[in-house]
Amino acid sequence: MTDTNARVALVTGGTGGIGRAVIERLAEDGYALAVHYAGNKTKADGTVAALKAKGTSAMAVCGDVADENVMAAAFDAVEAEFGGIDVVVHTAGIMALSPIATLNLDDLDRMHRINIRGAFVVAQQAARRVRTGGAIINFSTSVTRLQFPNYGAYAASKGAVEGMTLVLARELRGKDITVNNVAPGPTATPLFLEGKDQAALDNLAKAAPLERIGTPEDIAEAVAFLAGPARWINGQTLFANGGIA
């Protein structure tokens, strides 16, 4: 077991655009970090090595977020290494875009499994294990308000996450654990930028009063706020989108 008095955070999807930014931001606040990944071990190991080089206690855990047995083992590994878990940030998810009328239902099922079942599995483990004074942070999307065409199935999956999260906050009454969602707006991650030309990106940038597209670091600041000082924010969805909606 690593000898550390730091608060411990497990971040799913920790090698993705937002997940990596969250990892780096929580490291600044002194957390010991578990970097979860689904398939790219090299990337996860590189993230852990970079953290350790800066003096942060870190480890990598792998697993399909929708597999309850695999994720239970991942949580076990984090507890064995660090002695417990204080914060769980669930950024892992996928996005398939299509008009509702023409969506391939296999894509819907795949998103349902990762985005809904995966969020539920991770939240279930977090609810059982996060220590007193901790936080559970899920990810929704501002598209639930923006109603962009082609995002119907994705918005539906994230709407389910919002509902689940707000219920869990009430179910953990008396445990001093906050449960919230972060709902990013347009954010410059590889997943979001894929398939968009410069004109589309310029239009999205102008839509927000701050007249830019968000960065992963913007979203990570919202997570750090909910993970640490925001003890009186509970059962909420925080829209981190520069005022676009």
Rounded (10°) CA dihedral 94, 69, 237, 133: -140
The catalytic residue among 31, 37, 151, 154 is 154
Q: For 128-158, b where at least 16 C-beta lie within 10 A, e where not — what string?
A: ebbbeebbbbbbbbbbbbbeeeebbbbbbbb
37 is catalytic: no
CB 139 within 8 A of CB 181: yes
| 108 three-class SS | helix
3-class DSSP string for 132-163: EEEEEEEECCCHHHHCCCCCHHHHHHHHHHHH
Distance between CA atoms of residues 31 and 160, nearest Å = 29
DSSP 38: S
Active site residues: 154
